């Protein structure tokens, strides 16, 4: 019998998970607001926050990966089917690819447009040294938007999976990533 703490993620992992999760949802809403802004100046100002938060998500994700490599991940519940374990691992890998790839893609597309990223007025991140190419920037921004939509679908599936494990399978599900609640043996 393993103690509950060994079946939960570490406190650091929980903090990274929930801060990144909230930041991703907020950033999605910021992008939606920018898309619906009527005045060009409003759209540019709103997207500036989206870009800055995207870079912050990138930094947090790199911190989370460093944390994950130095702190053990709890084992999956013993009643997890093989296909569920494979699916969970695959989705987590895709999450990391998107959490790193979307901000880098956005930075790259901005760089192709010759724009720096203003980090909430504190400092700026210069464009990557790639030269300007507005057509390539447009294409990459399109891929960035498609990746964001795919990310939202995966997030919804992730949440549904956690709820299924919590309330149907009753094997701890979401409580593995929270400091409270029952995580059965």
For range 107-132, the mean pLDDT: 97
- Total residues found in the chain within this entry: 185
pLDDT of 154 > 70? The answer is yes
The residue whose two tokens read 């043996």 is 185
pLDDT at residue 4 in the model:
65
- Report the percent of the chain where pLDDT is more than 70: 97
Separation CA 52–CA 40 (nearest Å): 18
pLDDT at position 93, please?
A: 96
Task: Please say if the pLDDT value at position 124 is more than 60.
Answer: yes
Are 74 and 176 in contact by the 8 Å Cβ rule? The answer is yes
Summarised one tens digit per residue, pLDDT across range 73-102 is: 999 888 899 999 999 999 999 999 999 999
pLDDT at 180 over 80: yes
Q: Which two tokens stand for residue 83?
A: 């296909």
Looking at residue 1, its pLDDT comes to 41
Confidence of residue 172 (pLDDT cuts 50, 70, 90): confident
Residues 6 or more apart whose CB falls under 8 angstroms from that of 119 comprise 52, 55, 56, 125
pLDDT digits (tens, 9 = 90+) for 54-70: 999 999 999 999 999 99
Nearest CA among 127, 146, 129 for reference residue 138:
146
Contact 92, 26 (CB under 8 A): no
Between 163 and 3, where is the model more confident? Answer: 163
């Amino acid at each position: 019998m393993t103690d509950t703490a060994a079946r939960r993620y570490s406190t650091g992992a929980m903090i990274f998970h929930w801060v990144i999760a909230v930041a991703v949802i907020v950033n999605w809403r910021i992008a939606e607001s920018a898309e619906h802004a009527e005045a060009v100046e409003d759209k540019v100002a709103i997207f500036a926050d989206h870009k800055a938060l995207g870079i912050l998500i990138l930094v947090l994700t790199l911190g989370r990966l460093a944390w994950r490599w130095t702190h053990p991940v709890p084992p999956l519940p013993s009643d997890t089917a093989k296909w569920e374990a494979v699916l969970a691992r695959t989705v987590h890998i895709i999450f990391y690819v998107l959490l790193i790839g979307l901000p880098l893609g956005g930075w790259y597309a901005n760089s192709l447009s010759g724009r720096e990223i203003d980090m909430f007025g504190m400092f700026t991140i210069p464009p990557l040294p790639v030269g300007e190419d507005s057509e390539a920037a447009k294409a990459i921004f399109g891929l960035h938007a498609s990746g964001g939509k795919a990310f939202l679908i995966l997030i919804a599936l992730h949440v549904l999976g956690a709820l299924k494990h919590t309330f149907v399978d009753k094997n701890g599900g979401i409580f593995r990533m929270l400091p409270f609640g029952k995580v059965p043996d």
